[in-house]
Amino acid sequence: MRSIYNFAKYYLFWLLLFILEKPVFMLSNRSMMGEVRWQDWFLVPYHAFPMDLSVASYIMVFFGILMVASYFLPSRLIARIADGYTGLLLLVAMVVFGTDLGVFPAWGFHPDKTLFIYLASPKEVLACAPWWVWVFGSLGILAAWGLSFVAYRYWMRGIEAMTHPGTWPKRVGGAALMLLLTAILFLPIRGSVTTSTMNTGRVYFSENQMLNQAAVNPIFNIVESMSVLQFDTRRYTYMPSAEAETLVADILPASAKEETSPELLKTKRPDIVFFILESFSQNAWEAMPNLRRLAAEGVYFSHAVASSFRTDRGVVAAMSGFPGQPTSSVMVVPAKSRHLPQIGKSLSREGYHLKFWYGGDEDFTNMRSYLISGGFIDRVNDHSFPVAQRLSKWGVPDHILFSRAAEEIATRGSDHPTLDVILSLSSHEPFEVPTADRYHHPYMNSIAYTDSCIGAFADTLRRCGKWENTLLVFVPDHGYPYPADVQNHEPRRYAIPMVWAGGAIAQPQEVTALCSQIDLVPTLLAQMGIDHSEYIFGKDIFAPNSVPFAFYSFNDGFALLTESDTVVVDAKADRRVIGTDEDVERHARAFVQRVLESIEQL
């Protein structure tokens, strides 16, 4: 039992250390914190606790193994090993905490993998501050390390005097119990028993971004960035930046202020319901009778292309007009994604009330932080529903989510315009839907199911009288490799249906121009008479000088579709695998280079 007692005390020691770091960070950055209520001093460590627990659990794995060994080895030897292990980790922790306090005011985000890039040039790093800052900063870190180690030794006093029952059966039994406790650490390490694992977005909770930053464990932030910050700019640099910028300007010409677009909307400020549809490929169009019906009475973009192949990239493409990346996702790095433009930010400045609807885990791929940064404080997720309604692996089926959203929208007042973003999930693998099979393929059946939910949603709005002033926007997050012969790099994989519908549409039409998810928000804002210049990679599809093109990326590859040719480049092999036009290929390389360079600048 003594080992279990020491196990619990050691766990608590690290948790208390991480909790103490939060007010120190807030006080150190008090000039940046903005308005902080007294409750926030407690809310920050409360929301930070799951991440702190995860980091502490990683640390506890080795200590747990030590406690297993303590049943068979001298307690003095165990104590010495524990001292050395803890002393080393405390030094690392104090260096990270101290560096965080030093660089955050200048960087605006916690140290991440970027720190190691800078350390490759130590002379330049040392030149960033006067000598006395480095000296006193280093002394402060050493002092904090010494104090924390003394606190540890006092807190864990008595570990050297551990005794265990002398009989081997009892020792083996005690060791087995300690081994089980150590194995259970997997749960807090992972942070969840659902599809998402611990990530920095999990601790975001406030409109005040500094409170969110205060809740992030800086040790976790560095470790996470080592695995997810994979924007390989160097390998995707094909030409001087100025040349790449010139080539991108060829296909994204600046719009003249006197240019006008045809008016698609009856009103400049409709209520907007923005559907992001999981895996809705153009190849499954036959399984979407309700969306086809809405397309026939609305605006149907029949040559739209998805920007990437994952939901995290697709959501950012659709809501921020920002292209997907070949090797990683900007959404999973909150320090970057929070600087992106977003439809929520644009419309909230025009008086729109925002709400996000999702039946799944919003912490998957750091989506929560992205949404909060975009102004979506009012959000519905899987925990907004009783457990009995979370009927699939991913969460709440679409018919339950869509029905709840439709009922709320139907009964709202009309004192301000609204933007509701609804992210579906039922057409995600493994395609679990609560309806009988209508198609031989489970993917097609799931598409038909979600399409029926779309039809029911639209019918509800028609009956309640909200239809006339509502714009429904439907855009998939990405396509799907259906039929089976569709390969991941092929253009067929990325063809998607994009539809605007609702009573706010002036007249039905089909738009055959080549376009992409990243063009959606700029085009919509242009129709509403709202500036969209911050969406630098998207275009107003209807602008007279608009150049029809679409870009998409896949795992270590990218493509550019134009009216003259479609070029697909395998970046690993550094060669063109589809297409013949070398000029289109140069533009494709320039485009992906500019995307990654822009992420560096966020």
Which amino acid type is present at position 126? L
Q: Alpha-carbon distance 166 to 199, whole Å?
A: 44
Q: Alpha-carbon distance 382 to 270, whole Å?
A: 28
Distances (CA, A) of 270 to 53, 220, 266, 379, 528: 45, 43, 8, 21, 9
Q: Alpha-carbon distance 528 to 270, whole Å?
A: 9
Q: Alpha-carbon distance 368 to 312, whole Å?
A: 11
Structure tokens at 215: 């809740």
Residues 6+ apart with CB under 8 A from 20: none
165 forms bridges with which residues in the sheet? none
Helix (H), strand (E) counts: the chain:
20, 13
Q: Alpha-carbon distance 297 to 459, whole Å?
A: 14
Q: Alpha-carbon distance 477 to 488, whole Å?
A: 15
pLDDT for position 125: 61
Q: How many other CB atoms are there within 10 angstroms of residue 179's CB atom?
A: 14
Structure tokens at 338: 């929070």
Structure tokens at 257: 């202020």
Nearest to 32, CA basis, from 208, 205, 206, 204: 208
**In what order do the strands lie in the sheet containing 575-578?**
549-554, 557-562, 566-570, 575-578
Contact 70, 89 (CB under 8 A): no
Pairing of strands 470-476, 495-501: antiparallel
Backbone angles phi, psi at 387, to 5 degrees: -55, -35
DSSP letter for 512, please.
Answer: -
Helix (H, G, I), strand (E, B) or coil at 420: strand
Q: How many other CB atoms are there within 10 angstroms of residue 481's CB atom?
A: 17
Contact 361, 341 (CB under 8 A): no
Structure tokens at 477: 């997050």
pLDDT for position 508: 96
Q: Alpha-carbon distance 464 to 361, whole Å?
A: 30
Residues 6+ apart with CB under 8 A from 27: none
Contact 380, 406 (CB under 8 A): no
Q: Alpha-carbon distance 559 to 482, whole Å?
A: 19
In whole angstroms, how large is the CA radius of gyration of the chain? 27
Structure tokens at 408: 């709320």
Nearest to 430, CA basis, from 267, 279, 212: 279
Contact 255, 249 (CB under 8 A): no
Helix/strand/coil percent split, the chain, to 5:
50, 10, 35
> Taking the chain (602 residues) in consecutive chunks of 10 residues, what is each chunk's mean pLDDT?
88 97 94 90 96 96 93 89 96 95 81 69 62 85 96 88 72 90 93 76 86 93 73 84 96 68 92 98 97 98 96 96 92 91 97 97 90 96 93 90 97 93 94 85 95 97 95 97 88 97 97 97 96 95 94 93 96 90 98 95 87
For domain 274-543, the question of CATH label 3.40.720.10 is answered with yes
pLDDT for position 475: 98
Structure tokens at 182: 């150590």
Contact 502, 470 (CB under 8 A): yes
Which amino acid type is present at position 4? I
The ranges assigned to domains in the chain are: 2-228, 274-543
DSSP letter for 498, please.
Answer: E
Distances (CA, A) of 218 to 40, 128, 207, 281: 19, 21, 20, 40
pLDDT for position 194: 66
- Start-to-end C-alpha separation, the chain: 52
Distances (CA, A) of 275 to 163, 365, 422, 482, 499: 63, 19, 5, 22, 10
Which amino acid type is present at position 35? E
Q: Alpha-carbon distance 403 to 457, whole Å?
A: 7
Nearest to 534, CA basis, from 346, 269, 277, 405: 346
Which amino acid type is present at position 349? R
Q: Alpha-carbon distance 35 to 499, whole Å?
A: 42
HEC assignment per residue over 434-482: CCCCCCCCHHHHHHHHHHHHHHHHHHHHHHHCCHHHEEEEEEECCCCCC
Q: Alpha-carbon distance 119 to 126, whole Å?
A: 10
Quote the Cα angle for 8-84-57, to 5°.
Answer: 35
Nearest to 523, CA basis, from 547, 543, 550, 507: 543
Which amino acid type is present at position 534? E
DSSP letter for 109, please.
Answer: S
pLDDT for position 256: 53
Backbone angles phi, psi at 457, to 5 degrees: -60, -50
Helix (H) or strand (E) holding 207: none
Quote the Cα angle for 45-46-50, to 5°.
Answer: 95
Residues 6+ apart with CB under 8 A from 301: 497, 498, 499, 500, 511, 513, 515, 541
Which amino acid type is present at position 23? P
